[in-house]
Amino acid sequence: MPMLSRGVALDVLHKPLESTYVVIEEVDFDNWGWGGLPTADYRQFKLHNK
């Protein structure tokens, strides 16, 4: 488990590492966003507003 996650599990959640599981799931591009915009729209916005 990465160090940052270890700190969260121990310091914030007060949860022992032995009972902590990390699940990594890929999120489909169409279901992801940034700043309230779908990712594709956000990338276009950033491209045209440098």
Q: Is 38 in a helix, a strand, or coil? A: strand
Q: Is the pTM of this model over 0.85?
A: no
pLDDT at position 47 is 92
Domain limits of the chain?
3-48
Query: Residue 38 pairs with which residues in a beta bridge?
Result: 33
Query: CA angle 37-42-46, nearest 5°?
Result: 145
pLDDT in tens, 9-47: 778 777 777 877 778 899 888 888 988 899 999 999 999
Q: How far apart are the first and last CA of the chain?
A: 37
CB of 17 closer than 8 Å to CB of 10: yes
Alpha-carbon gap, residue 18 to 43, rounded angstroms: 40
